[in-house]
Amino acid sequence: MNQRQVKRNIFRNIAILFFLLLSTSSVASEKIDVKNIRYWSSSDYTRIVIDLSGHVEFSKNLLSDPDRIYFDLKNTRLSKDIKTVFPVGDGMLKAVRAGQFDPDTVRIVFDLEMIKDFNTFFLDSPARLVVDVQGTKSIKKPEVVLTKRKIVIDAGHGGHDPGAVGPSGIHEKDVVLDIALKLKEILVKDPLNEVFLTRETDVFISLEERTAIANNKNADLFVSIHANASPSRRAHGIETYLLNWTNDEEAMTVAARENAISLKKMKEMHKQMDLLETIKNDLMRENKRDESIRLAHYIQKSLISTLNRERNNRKRIDLGVKQALFYVLFGAKMPSVLVEVSFISNPGDEKLLSNETYRMQLAKAISNGLNIYIMSTSVTKVTAL
Ligand SMILES: [Zn+2]
């Protein structure tokens, strides 16, 4: 592996560490539990998530012969019943190991094979440290080529997380799953589309796993589908989001709800990011910002124009393309957006959302938006048939 590159990364990641230190609020005497380690791996991208009982301070270090990176999590203890050795063997990481290094420190070791890059960030409620590792695998030039695109559709929430609940009891998780399934059905009619859903049934999937699925599939596009909610039952309309810093309180409120964190936490996060330009850039550098903006505009435009052509619908208010810090978009390596299809908290919209025809109209409109984006994108990924 190229040690200089990794060292450069470490320096860059020190900025993130600074961010983590700022957001540290744990009481020093109380030990933070390292509760679980999870990972999703493919040949050129792996996401590792370390579940914690609270914020931690940590340091990281690079060692050679054999090459490894380790993270020392301060003031932590390793939960007794967790798995501590993970043989990964994906060409980038040999293994991930965890151990109680000393009474106050849990050490997480990444045994390296060959990596290009890695990036670390922290998510809250519940607290978890996310490490994204990028491989060096180059794309082989195929002999027979066809332009294909992989689209990952993410139906929000699921399982024990119902998402927003409408006044008559309709769950966001059910509405958005049905829209996602319909959208897939429409998109797969084009043989050049390869479509994956993060969930096809009523199951719970963490926000970070959804992004990991899209990155592991090496997706070209990622669309997360949600229904909006507001304390005001009169609020209605459609809006499409991309990942970015914002100072718009309403956008922050939406992101806080979708991230399942408090608005206060959300505001703190924005404040910290605003102070540290490097963090802002670092967390979002992979996100293909310009492409995400284009994708968001095409989908938003298509939703408004398509739905307002339908006679039976009430007029759809165009709330526009907005940005906020959605966990589900953190670390996504492709153009990625989150659509709030309507307000489930609005009795009129809830009624529409409970109607299959309306859900199909929404799916068609999103599909149209995606198609316009794809057609207008000159650089299409080339994949072997
Ligand atoms: Zn949602």
Residue that wins the pLDDT comparison between 275 and 159? 159
pLDDT at residue 119, as a whole number: 84
Apex CA 134: angle with CA 128 and CA 136, to 5°? 165
Report how far ligand 1's centroid is from the alpha carbon of 9 (Å). 34
Q: What's the rounded Cα separation, in Å, for the pair 36 and 34?
A: 6
Percent of the chain predicted with pLDDT > 90: 55
Report how far ligand 1's centroid is from the alpha carbon of 156 (Å). 5
Which residues lie across from 240 on neighbouring strands? 321, 339
Overall average pLDDT of the 270-283 stretch: 66
Q: What's the rounded Cα separation, in Å, for the pair 96 and 69?
A: 10
Sequence length of the chain is 385
pLDDT at residue 385, as a whole number: 38
Mean pLDDT of all residues in the chain?
85
Residue that wins the pLDDT comparison between 315 and 200? 200
Per-residue pLDDT reduced to its tens digit, 121-172: 888 888 999 998 888 765 444 434 456 889 999 999 999 999 999 999 999 9
What single-letter DSSP state applies at residue 249? H
Q: What's the rounded Cα separation, in Å, for the pair 49 and 42?
A: 15
Report how far ligand 1's centroid is from the alpha carbon of 272 (Å). 25
Residue that wins the pLDDT comparison between 114 and 156? 156
Report how far ligand 1's centroid is from the alpha carbon of 309 (Å). 26
Q: What's the rounded Cα separation, in Å, for the pair 164 and 228?
A: 7
Residue that wins the pLDDT comparison between 181 and 43? 181
**CA-CA-CA-CA torsion sign (326, 331, 337, 342):** negative
Q: What would the two tokens of residue 242 be?
A: 């991309």
pLDDT at residue 4, as a whole number: 56
| Contact by Cβ (8 Å): 372, 321 | no
Q: Is the pLDDT of residue 283 over 90?
A: no
Q: What would the two tokens of residue 237 be?
A: 């309309």
Report how far ligand 1's centroid is from the alpha carbon of 163 (Å). 5
Q: What would the two tokens of residue 1 be?
A: 């592996």
Report how far ligand 1's centroid is from the alpha carbon of 8 (Å). 37
What single-letter DSSP state applies at residue 160? T
pLDDT classification of 277: cutoffs 50, 70, 90: low
pLDDT at residue 133, as a whole number: 87
pLDDT classification of 181: cutoffs 50, 70, 90: very high
Report how far ligand 1's centroid is from the alpha carbon of 93 (Å). 34
pLDDT at residue 25, as a whole number: 43
Report how far ligand 1's centroid is from the alpha carbon of 17 (Å). 29
What radius of gyration, in Å, describes the C-alpha atoms of the chain? 21
pLDDT at residue 358, as a whole number: 95
pLDDT at residue 280, as a whole number: 64
